[in-house]
């Protein structure tokens, strides 16, 4: 625990430690660390465009440009607005950010410009990824193991209703953008839960039917959007049914973010209440209270030489005390022996 420069069980990194990325754009700053044997491949152009469109649609910093482009399209026509927007927005966004960067070089739009330029044609595929301290595997990697880490759940909109989508991770893809920016995507196979008979809640457990899939044209999700779930065989409903198990990961906790404006005057903070109960004052010889908190005194930096000198003085003092204690023990032993002999002599005289 006290060794420096040596990896021990106390200071080594956690097995599921994610990666910190110093980026301002949300899609570039995901806490995700892919691992395993990397494979380089060139996916079909339509699949790459679909992945890039999903990233543009789920980047909060791009939302204002979506609205801007829709307003331009509305001035032309309101027919098939969403389809036209999906088809034309990537190219318009790229041209718009190029103009903005050239006209105002001082604007900090490097990351937005990198996103607008689109990803590389070559993508990286991994068998696993750690996201926010949680380990995910692809379905193929899970098939060779006794553990299960490929189940995912994400909340989404279906027919204007927010539902939970359940699926299996098929691929873990890393898209490369210019200026050394990256985006981690999960390609999932979603189980069809559109039919009421495909999902059953009995009050305690949730069972889903995995015999059919849906949303084949929308398989991608950002790595940071996923939640991991486990699927257990439902022995009651049959082979095509799985029980969904949700759980809380070890070392991963949900915390509430509280702004300064959210704290009211009548709100009590436990740490402050606890510290206020401590006695931080003592009485002097005259009975007056002296505070132990000296905020009016500047701190003094003590050097190593001074500390070593104090240690030597303490050792010398302890050595003297040990000698004194030994002398006291010798004197006591001598007195005890003398008393013993006196008692024996007295006894002999009495006899």
Residues 326 and 199: their CA atoms lie apart, in Å, by 83
- pLDDT score of 56: 96
How many domains, the chain?
1
Residue 74 · residue 81 · CB < 8 Å: yes
> Per-residue DSSP letters for 80-109?
THHHHHHHHHHHHHHHHHHHHHHH-TTS--
For residues 105-109, give the mean pLDDT: 67
- Domain membership of residue 231 (yes or no) is yes
- Domain membership of residue 342 (yes or no) is no
Above 70 in pLDDT, residue 305?
Answer: yes
Work out the pLDDT band at 102, boundaries 50, 70, 90: confident
Work out the pLDDT band at 203, boundaries 50, 70, 90: confident
- Tally Cβ neighbours within 10 Å of residue 201: 9
Above 80 in pLDDT, residue 308?
Answer: no
Cα angle: 46, vertex 52, 56; to 5 degrees: 140
Cα angle: 36, vertex 42, 44; to 5 degrees: 125
CA distance between the termini of the chain: 70
What is the percentage of the chain residues whose pLDDT exceeds 90?
52
Above 80 in pLDDT, residue 345?
Answer: no
Instruction: Tell me the CA distances in angstroms from 33 to 21, 206, 238, 292, one per residue in order.
Output: 10, 31, 37, 48
Q: Where are the alpha helices (DSSP H) in the chain?
A: 45-57, 63-76, 81-103, 110-116, 139-142, 270-276, 304-350
- pLDDT score of 238: 87
Return phi, psi of residue 269, to 5°: -105, 130
- Domain membership of residue 18 (yes or no) is no
- Domain membership of residue 214 (yes or no) is yes
Work out the pLDDT band at 34, boundaries 50, 70, 90: very high
- pLDDT score of 347: 46
Above 50 in pLDDT, residue 13?
Answer: yes
pLDDT tens profile 143-182: 999 999 999 999 999 988 999 999 999 999 999 999 899 9
- Domain membership of residue 103 (yes or no) is yes
Work out the pLDDT band at 312, boundaries 50, 70, 90: confident
- pLDDT score of 325: 53
Q: In what order do the strands lie in the sheet with 206-209?
A: 199-201, 206-209, 241-245, 230-233
Work out the pLDDT band at 298, boundaries 50, 70, 90: confident
Domain that residue 97 falls in: 26-245
- Domain membership of residue 1 (yes or no) is no
- Domain membership of residue 240 (yes or no) is yes
Above 80 in pLDDT, residue 227?
Answer: yes
Residues 210 and 36: their CA atoms lie apart, in Å, by 28
> Of 6-10, 142-146, 320-324, where does mean pLDDT reach its minimum?
320-324
Above 70 in pLDDT, residue 340?
Answer: no
For residues 322-330, give the mean pLDDT: 55
Q: Indicate the average pLDDT of the chain.
A: 81
Work out the pLDDT band at 270, boundaries 50, 70, 90: very low
- 3-class SS at 181? strand
Above 50 in pLDDT, residue 90?
Answer: yes
CA max distance for the chain: 135
Residue 205 · residue 224 · CB < 8 Å: no
- Domain membership of residue 292 (yes or no) is no
- 3-class SS at 139? helix
Above 60 in pLDDT, residue 282?
Answer: yes
For residues 17-45, give the mean pLDDT: 84
DSSP letter, residue 13: P
Residues 97 and 113: their CA atoms lie apart, in Å, by 6
**Structure tokens belonging to residue 204:** 């305690």
What is the percentage of the chain residues whose pLDDT exceeds 70?
71
Q: Smallest Cα–Cα separation from 138: which of 167, 165, 172, 166?
A: 172
């Amino acid at each position: 625990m006290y060794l420096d420069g040596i990896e021990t069980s106390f200071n080594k990194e956690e097995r599921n430690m994610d990666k910190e990325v110093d980026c301002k754009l949300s899609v570039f700053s995901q806490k995700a660390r892919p691992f395993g044997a990397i494979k380089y491949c060139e996916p079909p152009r339509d699949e790459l465009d679909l992945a890039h469109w999903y990233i543009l649609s789920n980047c909060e910093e791009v939302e204002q440009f979506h609205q801007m482009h829709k307003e331009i399209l509305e001035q032309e026509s309101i027919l098939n607005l969403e389809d036209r927007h999906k088809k034309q927005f990537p190219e318009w966004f790229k041209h718009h950010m190029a103009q903005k960067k050239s006209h105002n070089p001082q604007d900090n739009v490097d990351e937005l410009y990198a996103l607008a330029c689109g990803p590389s044609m070559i993508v990286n595929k991994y068998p696993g990824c750690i996201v926010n301290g949680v380990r995910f595997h692809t379905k193929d990697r899970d098939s060779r193991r006794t553990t299960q880490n490929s189940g995912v759940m994400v909340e989404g909109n279906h027919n204007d209703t927010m539902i939970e989508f359940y699926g299996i991770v098929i691929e873990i893809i890393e898209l490369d953008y210019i200026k050394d920016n990256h985006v981690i995507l999960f390609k999932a196979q979603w189980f069809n839960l559109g039919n009421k008979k495909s999902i059953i809640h009995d009050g305690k457990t949730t069972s889903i039917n995995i015999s059919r899939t849906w949303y084949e044209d929308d398989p991608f999700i950002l790595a940071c959007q996923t939640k991991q779930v486990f699927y257990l065989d439902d022995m009651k409903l049959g082979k095509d049914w799985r029980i969904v198990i949700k759980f809380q990961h070890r070392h991963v906790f949900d915390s509430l973010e509280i702004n300064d404006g959210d704290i009211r005057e009548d709100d009590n903070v436990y740490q402050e209440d606890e510290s206020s109960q401590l006695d931080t004052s003592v009485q002097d010889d005259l009975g007056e209270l002296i505070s132990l908190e000296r905020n009016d005194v500047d701190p003094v930096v003590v050097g190593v030489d001074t500390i070593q000198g104090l240690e030597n003085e303490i050792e010398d003092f302890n050595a003297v005390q040990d000698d004194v204690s030994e002398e006291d023990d010798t004197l006591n032993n001598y007195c005890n022996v003398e008393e013993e002999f006196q008692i024996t002599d007295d006894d002999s005289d009495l006899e």
